[in-house]
Amino acid sequence: MDELLTILISRINYWVYIILMMVGMYGIIIKKNLMKKIIGMSILQTSVILFYVSIGAKKNATIPIIEHGHDTGHAAVQATHYINPLPHVLMLTAIVVAVATLGVALALAIKIYKQYNTLEEDELIEILKEKEF
Determine the Cα–Cα distance for residues 119 and 37; give it in Å rounded to an integer. Answer: 10
Q: Which of 49, 53, 47, 57 is closest to 25 using CA atoms?
A: 47
Which domains can be identified in the chain, with CATH numbers?
2-59+83-132 (1.10.287.3510)
pLDDT digits (tens, 9 = 90+) for 15-73: 999 999 999 999 999 999 999 999 999 999 999 999 998 888 778 887 777 666 555 55
- Condensed to tens digits (0 to 9), the pLDDT of residues 63-114 reads 777 666 555 556 666 777 788 888 888 999 999 999 999 999 999 999 999 9
Residue 106: closest CA among 91, 119, 120:
119
Question: What is the percent of the chain where pLDDT is above 90?
Answer: 57
Of the CA atoms within 13 Å of residue 33, those in its CB half-sphere come to 5
